[in-house]
Structure 1
Amino acid sequence: MLMLIPVSLAEANAFVAQHHRHHKPVTGHKFSIGCTADGQLVGVAIVGRPVSRYLDDGQTLEVNRLCTDGTKNACSMLYAAAWRAARAMGYRKMITYILDTENGASLRAAGWKCAGIAGGKRWTGSRKPATDLYPPQMKYRYEKTV
């Protein structure tokens, strides 16, 4: 049986470092949620401010990392729990991004809606990192709103 638990950023980042396919740990967050099965941590959601400054309106949060070990239903449980927690804190919108090669089934199961293709393949401008921080692919943005 899956259960939700609070986790620190350090715990969540350690899980991401061990299990995430293409992202590294994050530097900050608003909150993190863990999911356990039989007492074993099987997934985490790390929620913070939107990476895009255009979407950072004080009423929106972003699931910056969601990572599981493949346990069935853990992803959708974490997406749903992250939204409930954000709503309880007074936020009106939550967003996240997936690669265009991912199907979004867990997001749809948790009631999120696809807002369409978002962003570009790589960072541009003066703040562009020296190496890619994630796969250079198009992304889909998913949203959950009041």
Structure 2
Amino acid sequence: MPIQTARAFIAWTQPHLAPPAGAAFALGAQTGDGTLVGVVLVGWPTAWAFDDGDTAEVLALATDGTSDASRALLGAVWPLAREMGYRRLIAYTCIEESGTDLWDAGFRVVRRPLGWHAISRADDVARVMWAIRAVGGRR
């Protein structure tokens, strides 16, 4: 789906958050009648340490509350990222979020590397990092 459409959906469903400025691609989830119920934006990692050419990041995921929309999006985004040659996909949740949909899609919690802080400097929100990996890839 067009990145601009995904950004507009994020602005509509999460007006308190600014949609990411850039992204590599976007996916959407629709109902049977074509109503857009969720989007995911994927791009290059925001942390320079992960910007290695093999890693993509889930920059934003938003739904209108439709049951299983986020689970469907997360389940679809990893095969597409792998097909594009990425070997790892990372995502973050706020510390109080369960991450159940990430877990169900195959993501696992990443232990914090030495010197890496769980608090984002931009908004002082404690976060948990998740990742899913593949064997092989671009290199």
TM-score band, normalised by shorter chain:
0.7 to 0.9
Residue 28 of structure 1: aligned partner = 22
| Aligned 1:84-123 pairs, distance under 5 A | 84-116=79-111, 119-123=117-121
| TM-score of the aligned structures, taking structure 2 as reference length | 0.87
Which structure 1 residue ranges, 4+ long, deviate > 4 Å from structure 2? none
Counterpart secondary structure, 1:54: helix
Q: What percent of counterpart residues are identical? A: 35
**Please, which of 130, 133, 139 is the counterpart of residue 145 of structure 1?**
133
The code of the aligned residue for 1:9 comes to: I
Q: Give the CA RMSD over aligned residues.
A: 1.6
Counterpart secondary structure, 1:58: coil
Instruction: Note the C-alpha offset of 1:109.
Output: 1.1
Gapped regions of structure 1 (runs ≥ 5): 1-6, 124-131
Residue 4 of structure 1: aligned partner = none
Aligned residues: 130
CA distance in 2, matches of 1:121, 1:21: 22
- Structure showing the higher strand proportion among its residues: 1
CA distance in 2, matches of 1:71, 1:92: 30
| TM-score of the aligned structures, taking structure 1 as reference length | 0.83
Instruction: Note the C-alpha offset of 1:39.
Output: 1.1
The code of the aligned residue for 2:5 comes to: E
The code of the aligned residue for 1:30 comes to: A
Gapped regions of structure 2 (runs ≥ 5): 135-139
